[in-house]
Structure formats: structure tokens, C-alpha cells
């Protein structure tokens, strides 16, 4: 097994994946063209098929890769502190993923929101590691009396990531005008734990 070729091969694949993510994020799966992706990656059309079986397979890989990259960020977050602090850390990690891998994140979120029976479980599956972390934090929080028990922790975790996604959608939808990405963790965690009713804890002070 030649060592360099394997690396070279991996690099070509990576470039195609990145280009694919960008095009699919910008144009959607249908409109993104294999030709344009290959060229953006610096290859000719035919080369694409040396690395991916089809456009759909690329799409799956983009989602997988997006999830993989996210997990790397989550790994070091949410370990310590109160439930609120740990959730803030997880949300901040997610925002960092968005900032560093915007195209991949957009593809994942857009597809998640398309709630197509074919891809929805796939995506939930991919998000599993992140969700798992959140669930762990929430369960600890429930044990500590910091989190309500009305819903299963797994549902709560889905709501949490859903609220993150809502923020991103707003952010993308109005061209970055609101919210400031740095505010997102505080906003989401505040919303998630306290709600907008007047009863709860201290909503959103400082940042």
C-alpha cells in the first residue's frame, strides 16, 4: 500500500467533500451540480465518480462529515459546572461548529428541517453523539433538581438542539443581522431553562 497515494486520495476526497458541502448549502441538493462541485474542487467532472458513487452518496457523506466534525468540538465541552453552565458550554461548542463549518452545518440543519422520512432518522442518528452529551447533562440536572421532569430527557435534548437550529435559521434568514452568534448560547439556554414567562430565574443579563 503506497503511503502517499492513500494520503493524496484522501485529500482529493476531502476537497470534493468541502466543495460539495458549499454547493449543497448554497443551492440545495437538487440544484447543486456535480460538474460545478468537481470544478470547484479543482477536478474534472469524471473524477468525482472516482470518489463518490453518486450525488446522493456525497450528500450522505457531507452530513456524516458534518456530524463528525461537530462531535470533535463537543468532546471537550459540558464536563463541569452547574447544568446551566454545562449547557452553555455545549451550546457554545455548537456555535463554534457553525462558525468553522458553516456549509456542513447548514446542510445538516436544512435537511433536518426538511423532515423527510428518508433522511430524518439518518440525521438524528448522526446527531446522536451530541444529543447523548446533552441527555447526560440533562439527566444530571434532573437528579440535581435543576431540570424539570415533565418530558423524557431525550425529548428535552431534541428541543434544545431544535432551539439552537431556530436561532441559526433566524441568523441565516436575515443575513446575519440577528442574533449575534456570540449571544446564541445565552439566548438559547435562557429560553430553554427559564422560558419567557415572568416567573423564572434571571433571564438574560450580561453576556
Partner DNA sequence: CATGAATGAGAATTCATTCAT
Partner DNA sequence: AATGAATGAATTCTCATTCAT
Distance in angstroms (rounded) separating the CA atoms of residues 34 and 16: 10
C-alpha cell at 15: 476537497
82 contacts DNA (rule: CB under 7 A): no
Distance in angstroms (rounded) separating the CA atoms of residues 161 and 28: 22
Stretch that binds DNA, among 51-59, 72-80, 104-112, 175-183 (CB under 7 A): 51-59
55 contacts DNA (rule: CB under 7 A): yes
54 contacts DNA (rule: CB under 7 A): yes
Q: Shortest gap between Cβ of 37 and DNA (angstroms)? A: 8
14 contacts DNA (rule: CB under 7 A): no
Distance in angstroms (rounded) separating the CA atoms of residues 108 and 100: 14
- Please count the other Cβ atoms lying within 10 Å of the Cβ belonging to residue 62: 26
Stretch that binds DNA, among 54-62, 78-86, 103-111, 171-179 (CB under 7 A): 54-62
- 186 in Cβ contact with 84 (< 8 Å): no
Applying CB under 8 A, the site for a second copy has a residue count of 55
Distance in angstroms (rounded) separating the CA atoms of residues 157 and 161: 6
4 contacts DNA (rule: CB under 7 A): yes
Stretch that binds a second copy, among 53-61, 62-70, 97-105, 154-162 (CB under 8 A): 154-162
Q: Is 156 helix (H, G, I), strand (E, B) or coil?
A: helix
Nearest residue (CB) to a second copy, 42 versus 204: 204
Nearest residue (CB) to a second copy, 80 versus 149: 149
- 35 in Cβ contact with 45 (< 8 Å): yes
Q: Is 44 exposed, middle or buried (0-12, 13-18, 19+ CB in 10 A)?
A: exposed
* Residues within the interface to a second copy (CB under 8 A): 28, 30-31, 84, 110, 112-115, 117, 120-121, 124, 141, 145-151, 155-156, 158-159, 162-163, 165-166, 169-170, 172-175, 178, 187, 190-207
* Residues within the interface to DNA (CB under 7 A): 1-5, 8-9, 12, 31-35, 43-51, 53-56
Amino acid at each position: 500500500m503506497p503511503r502517499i497515494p492513500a494520503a493524496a486520495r484522501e485529500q482529493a476526497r476531502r476537497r470534493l467533500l468541502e466543495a460539495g458541502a458549499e454547493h449543497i448549502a448554497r443551492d440545495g441538493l437538487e440544484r447543486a451540480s456535480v460538474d460545478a462541485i468537481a470544478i470547484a474542487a479543482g477536478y474534472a467532472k469524471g473524477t468525482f465518480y472516482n470518489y463518490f458513487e453518486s450525488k446522493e452518496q456525497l450528500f450522505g457523506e457531507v452530513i456524516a462529515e458534518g456530524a463528525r466534525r461537530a462531535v470533535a468540538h463537543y468532546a471537550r465541552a459540558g464536563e463541569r459546572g452547574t447544568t446551566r453552565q454545562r449547557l452553555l458550554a455545549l451550546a457554545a461548542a455548537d456555535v463554534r461548529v457553525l462558525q468553522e463549518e458553516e456549509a456542513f452545518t447548514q446542510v445538516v440543519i436544512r435537511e433536518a428541517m426538511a423532515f423527510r422520512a428518508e433522511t430524518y432518522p439518518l440525521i438524528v442518528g448522526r446527531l446522536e453523539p451530541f444529543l447523548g452529551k446533552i441527555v447526560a447533562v440533562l439527566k444530571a440536572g434532573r437528579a440535581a433538581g435543576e431540570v424539570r421532569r415533565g418530558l423524557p430527557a431525550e425529548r428535552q435534548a431534541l428541543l434544545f438542539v431544535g432551539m439552537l437550529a431556530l436561532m441559526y435559521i433566524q441568523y441565516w434568514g436575515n443575513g446575519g443581522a440577528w442574533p449575534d452568534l456570540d449571544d446564541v448560547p445565552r439566548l438559547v439556554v435562557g429560553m430553554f431553562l427559564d422560558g419567557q414567562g415572568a416567573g423564572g430565574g434571571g433571564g438574560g443579563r450580561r453576556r
